[in-house]
Structure 1
């Protein structure tokens, strides 16, 4: 089996453009009810993951930060505390599974680092639950 069979394509994935503000990122997280989302740069490359925790740490550690000032802080200036490692689309299943054990989702990229989508740990568990018998 290839990892592409688990791929949720970019067109179906919520993500955060690297050029938006902290406030806009917060709105995207809230709208989709996720605690973390992949960050994609202007070239379409996966550059990291932004979590609610990253936003909370920035809020805590920035003096007098309010919603208006959050509109001035770009996502790329926020320290990331979660590092979701990506996997190349041609990688072996074992490589993807080892990442999925520690991450809720695994970002999938092509050989140039272009973001193709994600593999959700939930989908892997459901597949094995439905297809593995004793």
Structure 2
């Protein structure tokens, strides 16, 4: 559990965390892999959200997932790009959050992910929280917390933290 001063300071900029769905590059489940390949290549992101036609979050797709599908025994099969759909290769085991205010869960998920999808209670895609935006607030916190809260310095030289 986060200590209150840290959580409060991280929440101060919570309105800047969310990159809204309407400006996040995405593909749909029934798009062919060629389309997904082009989108990923042009925007230079490693993974992008996959949505259904109604805007529900379904998973993520990446260039490695597409490339894996193209690999044959002795050559790359590029014809598969037009034949297969994003739904056939996308990763559906993706953790999401329902609020930018869920700071602790978001922090845990960002350890291994450059962004965290945000969905509402009906799984409608609302956008993403990027590690970059979150780190800006964390940087602010590390510089400001001592100015805004009385902090007592402790000697950690004999603790497991120092080792």
**TM-score bracket for this pair, using the shorter chain length:** 0.7 to 0.9
Give the deviation of 1:68 after TM superposition.
3.6
C-alpha contact 1:23 1:70 (8 A) present in aligned 2: yes
1:58 equivalent in structure 2: 69
Aligned-CA RMSD value: 2.3
Q: Deviations over 1:32-91 (max 9, x none)?
A: 1111101111121111110111011111158876434311211111253x8431111276
Matched positions, count: 133
| 1:122 correspondence with 2:132 | yes
**Larger C-alpha radius of gyration, 1 or 2?**
2
C-alpha distance 54-111 of structure 1, shift in aligned 2 (>3 A): same
* Pairing 1:1-134 to 2, within 5 Å after superposition: 1=11, 3-61=14-72, 66-78=77-89, 80=91, 83-89=93-99, 92-133=102-143
Shift of 1:127: 1.8
Instruction: Compare 64-73 and 123-132 and name the one that shifted more.
Output: 64-73
For structure 1, the 5+ residue unaligned runs are none
Instruction: Decide which structure has greater strand share.
Output: 1
Quick one: distance in 2 between partners of 1:96 and 1:43? 25
TM, length-normalised to structure 1 = 0.86
